[in-house]
């Protein structure tokens, strides 16, 4: 029997920060949940746009030419090739929508880079 996805239950199932979890897939795109706290890595995605939807809390998407502030229920799409850095002053819960082939740190390899993502 088909089941819906409860985002709150999925978010409650993990505590890791900056460790995206796959919760859905459509048309070679992943729907991911991730918890943010503190600054992430400056990076860009050469061939993929990236959607950030804030479910809880607030984040700032730092861009080289200005910042985008997002609160609950707001989203921003970072165009491909645009260098950015997500930052959350307090823990925030985010839904990401991006192509399945997208590496979480884009063109950068560092301690935040995850080659394989868990499905929950």
Burial of 73 from C-beta contacts in 10 A (0-12 / 13-18 / 19+): exposed
Q: Per-residue pLDDT for 52 more than 80? A: yes
Residue-number span of the structural domain to which 72 is assigned: 7-99
Mean pLDDT of the chain: 91
Q: Is residue 70 part of a domain?
A: yes
**pLDDT for the residue 3:** 87
In a domain, 104, yes or no: no
Can you give the CATH number for the domain in which 69 is found? 2.60.120.10
Query: pLDDT (tens digit, 9 = 90+) per residue, 9-31?
Result: 999 999 999 999 999 999 999 99
Q: Residue 18, class by beta-carbon neighbours within 10 Å (0-12 exposed, 13-18 middle, 19+ buried)?
A: buried
pLDDT in the model for residue 76: 98
Q: Is residue 118 part of a domain?
A: no
- Neighbouring-strand partners of residue 84: 43, 63
pLDDT of 114 above 70: no
Domain count, the chain: 1
- Residues 96-105 have pLDDT tens digits of 998 888 766 6
In a domain, 86, yes or no: yes
């Amino acid at each position: 029997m088909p089941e819906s996805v409860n985002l709150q239950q999925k978010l409650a199932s993990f505590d890791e920060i900056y460790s995206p979890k796959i919760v859905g897939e459509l048309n070679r795109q992943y729907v991911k949940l991730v918890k943010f706290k503190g600054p992430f890595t400056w990076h860009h995605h050469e061939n993929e746009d990236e959607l950030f939807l804030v479910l809880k809390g607030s984040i700032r998407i730092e861009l080289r030419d200005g910042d985008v502030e997002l609160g609950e229920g707001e989203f921003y799409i970072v165009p491909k090739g645009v260098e950015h850095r997500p930052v959350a002053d307090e823990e925030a819960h985010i839904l990401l929508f991006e192509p399945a082939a997208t590496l979480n740190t884009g063109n950068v390899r560092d301690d935040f880079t995850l080659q394989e993502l868990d499905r929950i």
